[in-house]
Structure 1
């Protein structure tokens, strides 16, 4: 099992799939999941000759369950170590939800020297939290309710998220996948309670506005207009306008998990973007 020992002794699990000599595409997963959430995209692009690399953020999946460091700056410093360890260059970075925040902060903090393009999928930037300067955001009470639900019964809360708003399985007539639900729940429960709890603050209160403005490479923003978790009007739409070279594609009726539900369409969009 490939593991990178980080500067503080924590171990970071990563996958390295596809053609070892191929152009590199990296994947950053959402909350509270793992690199497994990207398997459809990694398998597809790997079959097209790309080298696909994805990691489990610290506290998630098969990486060390650290007590401290469950914050965006630590996460992107970990990712920088992975890029250096694998000598990743000319990569396309892809991030979903909280992982889209990771991609954005990585590029804002560490620059674009090793990256040529990026893709944000249902991503949390610029800022999820409702503030005076961000009236389109979500009330803090919503995120407080997440924390309360975790403390009452994390297992049931994670099941409720997966059966409901994450995939839009709560929409009338929506086809429901029991397998997707079980996969989400399993990934979530494999994440440290402390990490999952701390990351509610991290994904909801981290402001990525300045990071977006700094990114000087092409960025494709993919977002469902029926995203119940990260509403389009407060995120994808605003991010595309803040990015110097942002390009937006809206998935009509799309959920927060378009890469899991609209698999063929997302794969085609990724392939077209990384090849161009």
Structure 2
């Protein structure tokens, strides 16, 4: 496997496909780089070099007890790009990965970055606060943590079987294969790592990170996203990021990398090539 070791001694797995303009993908919770495979296959088949890693504690990367937070995630990503000496990259982050991209730019700037994309992404802030009244109550995440501890495997069936892909909506046609793939990726992740990551993706405030963006940024979000509601995320991010473009997928759920992959593949490729 392709791996590198961070300064903290964490083994990070990554895949590196194709040749051409560099596109780097950061995945969602509790998944791994495989969740981007449809987009990576399409872009690599159309003249791009596609790189994706398994976040620390997820997938095939090692499972450190500590450091399961956005600062460490961003620093691991920075070390990966340094390791591969990536230049003029387009960074795409899905859901939690969007937070990773935002914190990376906030902490490390855009010296290696040409463009950015936030796909169904968690920024600016998921949790409800006085300054963020449109966010979700802390109870939502406390309930996820309780279900996680009680039966992580069942939770990782229930989420993709229901709100993640919109399979709980009338007329939806669930794909058992997509559900199984989500469960498999989730269960590969470390128990402590994916538990800690719930706090990382829900309580980290990326507002100041987004204000530092100085590259063209594409924001894509479904307006029926039950996991990361669009008003407090995609639409709010578009107001904070200069030179951003928001594309709303009408009626689309959170997991558009699978449910709307043909449209998403085309939109991402067009943005990279523009």
User: TM range, normalised to the smaller chain?
Assistant: over 0.9
Query: SS in structure 2 opposite 1:16?
Result: strand
Provide the rounded CA distance (Å) in 1 between the counterparts of 2:118 and 2:83: 24
What CA deviation, in whole Å up to 9, does each residue of 1:46-85 have, x standing for no partner? 0001000000000000000110010000011111111011
Please list every run of 5 or more consecutive structure 2 residues that lacks an aligned counterpart in the other structure. Answer: none
State which of 170, 175, 183 in structure 2 corresponds to 1:185: 183
State which of 131, 134, 137 in structure 2 corresponds to 1:136: 134
Question: 1:176: Cα distance to partner?
Answer: 1.1
Residue 8 (structure 2) pairs with residue 8 (structure 1): yes
Please tell me the root mean square deviation across aligned C-alpha atoms, in Å.
0.5
Question: 1:258: Cα distance to partner?
Answer: 0.9
Provide the rounded CA distance (Å) in 1 between the counterparts of 2:159 and 2:116: 27
Question: 1:245: Cα distance to partner?
Answer: 1.1
Number of residue pairs the alignment of both structures matches: 274
Provide the rounded CA distance (Å) in 2 between the counterparts of 1:220 and 1:175: 29
Aligned pairs (5 A) from 1:42-191: 42-191=40-189
Provide the TM-score with structure 2 as the length reference.
0.99
Aligned to 1:199: 197
State which of 189, 208, 211 in structure 1 corresponds to 2:209: 211
Aligned to 1:228: 226
Query: SS in structure 1 opposite 2:117?
Result: strand
Aligned to 1:41: 39
Provide the rounded CA distance (Å) in 2 between the counterparts of 1:270 and 1:225: 18
Provide the TM-score with structure 1 as the length reference.
0.99
Question: 1:255: Cα distance to partner?
Answer: 0.5
Please list every run of 5 or more consecutive structure 1 residues that lacks an aligned counterpart in the other structure. Answer: none
Query: SS in structure 2 opposite 1:118?
Result: strand
